[in-house]
Amino acid sequence: MNKKALSAPYVIWIIGGTLIPLALMLYYGLTDGEGSFTLSNILAIGEPGHLKALLTALLLAAVSTLICFLLAFPIAVLLRRVKRAKGLIIFLFLLPMWMNFLLRTMAWQVLLEKGGVINSIISWLGFEKLRLINTPGAVIMGMVYDFLPFMLLPINNAVSKIALSTTEAAYDLGASEMQVVFKVVLPLSVPGIVSGITMVFVPALTTFVISNMLGGGKIYLIGNIIEQEFTVGDNWNLGAGLSIVMMVFILISMLFIAKFDKDVEEDLAI
Amino acid sequence: MKKHGALRVIYLVLIIIFLYAPIFTLMVLSFNEGKSMGKWTGFSLRWYASMFSDEEIMEALGNTVFIALVSALVSTVIGTAVCIALPRMNKKIRDAFLALNNIPLLNADIVTGLSLMLAFVAFGVSLSMGTVILSHITFCIPYVILSVRPRVKQLGNTGYEAALDLGATPGQALFKVILPEIRPGITAGFLMAFTMSVDDFIVTHFTRGAGVNTLSTLIYGQVRIGIRPTVYALSTIVFVTVLIVLVLANVFQGKGARARQGKRI
């Protein structure tokens, strides 16, 4: 038996499940309804509605990626020092990730709704109810909540790999705690940080679920436009063209990750 | 160092609260007598009762588990097979394989889902539960490879060659030497694939046939018309199940293996 033959099903699956579908996406995006070549589906990104959706998505994704990083990096640094029950504590941070994504997003809807939990508490305290749901803030909240583990995981893997002797050496040489964090730990965890940024930015940029559930159909992201073209709008060529534009940003992220991080596989290992 | 100790604990606790408050809220509301999202009107198990008698929910639950089981099984077999073959290939092909493996991992789900849908339509395959399973296998394989490959790398080639020298057939060497050695990786890959499948909404959304619902698509449909409290009961059950499974997986896998592997859930 030839061991190489064991890779045959995988090769078939990669070709049938990844390469052909992506080629079709390109084909649809670069043709019109009759099948002749056109760039109009791509250039359609210039239309005000589409452009606004793309820019909103880029902005919201960038803000939530930044918030995720600002939350996750200190967690990883603090977890490094935990001595007792370390496994359990990391488990606690990652557990919500395993719960269904839709349920997690729905939970925020329940919290933020007009008659929801937070507003009930606010009015019970005697304050005026706030408009929380259907705002960009609600969408960012959902993105941060849903994708925080994707930032935490690679950063924590990178930070925990830094040998204790490395940071101890820095302390011995007179570095302050802040200096150790910013001049030793931070630079050494760059590969993990880059992975984390990509793994939060890409799903946030392309989501249509979070904006739909927490934006109440008022906040249109590029993902919403594409989803609608493929479902209700029924213009697949346009949807594919806009997907290609979106994929350019995904591709940039992938190149970014490839430049800084040689071992993506390890970062995703849980 | 000591003086900030309390602040550190407070920070970690605040994050934990942020992570669990939404889930906890759903759990509390699932025991609420009334339908209100914000008012507690008394303890009741009625939403659990109506959840278990709700055929739509039960069917979606069945579909979700079935799809996840089949996709996880098939993707585990395919992913494990290619991992065993990888060390035998020349470096260029191997690198190409691993680069291709990253595409579904790093690509956006919406692109994966839509491009698969286009492929099904182009080849005249009508969308059904079968197309959902095929699509789930596609995005599960990379996660299996992620879990199994480090084990195969660690194993090296000596055991396999020793088995051959001692007269084992390649088949025997595979099943009696290689597979038992990499079993923890295979188990982890299977669990990972299973969870990814259960967690998925976007790919399912685009590749399912009319009337095929998983938990995710069912909830998405309800969110638009108003969430029913039965879904809170459902989410409580899902969370508790996930918790139990993960704790069990940790207990079984953790023995010995964890020390070598780092923090693997």
- Grouping H, G, I as helix, E, B as strand and the rest as coil, residue A270 is coil
Cα separation of B89 and B86, whole Å? 5
CA atoms within 13 A on the CB side of A13: 29
Cα separation of A132 and A119, whole Å? 8
CB-based contact B37 A92, cutoff 8 Å:
no
Tokens 């996660």 appear where?
Answer: B143
Q: Is A171 on the interface with B (CB under 8 A)?
A: no
The span from the first CA to the last CA of chain A, in angstroms, equals 34
CA distance A48 to chain B (A): 22
CATH code that applies to domain A48-230+249-268: 1.10.3720.10
pLDDT tens digits along B52-107 = 999 999 999 999 999 999 999 999 999 999 998 888 888 888 888 888 888 888 88
Contact at 8 Å (CB) between B1 and A177? yes
What six digits make up the tokens of A243?
């997907």
Chain B hits for A24, Cβ within 8 Å: 115, 118-119, 122
Q: Is A104 on the interface with B (CB under 8 A)?
A: yes
What six digits make up the tokens of A268?
């995703």
Contact at 8 Å (CB) between A270 and A94? yes
Size of interface A-B (CB pairs under 8 A): 251
CA distance A189 to chain B (A): 17
Nearest CA-CA partner of B75 in B134, B152, B150:
B134
Nearest CA-CA partner of A40 in A54, A57, A28:
A28
Nearest CA-CA partner of A242 in A39, A78, A16:
A39
Under DSSP, the state recorded for A34 is T
Torsion of CA A197, A203, A209, A214, to 10 degrees: 10
CATH of B57-215, one of 1.10.3720.10, 1.20.1250.20, 3.40.50.360, 3.40.50.2300: 1.10.3720.10
Q: Looking at this protein, which amino acid is placed at residue A96?
A: P
With CA atoms as reference, the chain A residue closest to B28 would be A117
* pTM as predicted: 0.88
DSSP codes, B30-95: HTBSSS-SS----B--HHHHHHHT-HHHHHHHHHHHHHHHHHHHHHHHHHHHHHHHGGGS-HHHHH
Contact at 8 Å (CB) between A105 and A210? yes
CB-based contact B12 A78, cutoff 8 Å:
yes
Contact at 8 Å (CB) between B120 and B127? yes
- Grouping H, G, I as helix, E, B as strand and the rest as coil, residue B227 is coil
Interval B127-146 mean pLDDT: 95
Q: Is A102 on the interface with B (CB under 8 A)?
A: yes
pLDDT tens digits along B166-191 = 988 888 888 888 888 899 899 989 98
CB-based contact A99 B239, cutoff 8 Å:
yes
Contact at 8 Å (CB) between B189 and B179? no
Contact at 8 Å (CB) between A144 and A153? no
Tens place of pLDDT for every residue, chain A, 270 residues?
A: 466 788 889 999 999 999 999 999 999 999 998 888 999 999 999 999 999 999 999 999 999 999 999 999 999 999 888 777 777 888 888 888 878 888 899 899 888 888 788 888 888 888 888 888 889 999 999 999 999 999 999 999 899 888 888 888 999 999 888 899 999 999 999 989 998 999 999 999 999 999 999 998 788 999 999 999 998 888 999 999 999 999 999 888 878 777 776 655 555 555
Chain B hits for A20, Cβ within 8 Å: 119
Model confidence band, residue B203 (pLDDT cutoffs 50, 70, 90): very high
- Grouping H, G, I as helix, E, B as strand and the rest as coil, residue B34 is coil
Q: Is B199 on the interface with A (CB under 8 A)?
A: yes
Cα separation of A43 and A241, whole Å? 8
Q: Looking at this protein, which amino acid is placed at residue B130?
A: G
Chain B hits for A3, Cβ within 8 Å: 84-85, 88, 170
Domain ranges of chain B: 57-215
Cα separation of B191 and B249, whole Å? 9
pLDDT tens digits along A159-179 = 988 888 888 899 999 988 889
Give the Cβ contact number of residue A154 at 10 Å. Answer: 29
Angle (nearest 5°) at CA B116 between B111 and B121: 130
Contact at 8 Å (CB) between A161 and A228? no
Q: Is B134 on the interface with A (CB under 8 A)?
A: yes
CA distance A13 to chain B (A): 7
Domain ranges of chain A: 48-230+249-268
A-contacting residues of B 87-106, CB under 8 Å? 88-89, 97-98, 100-106
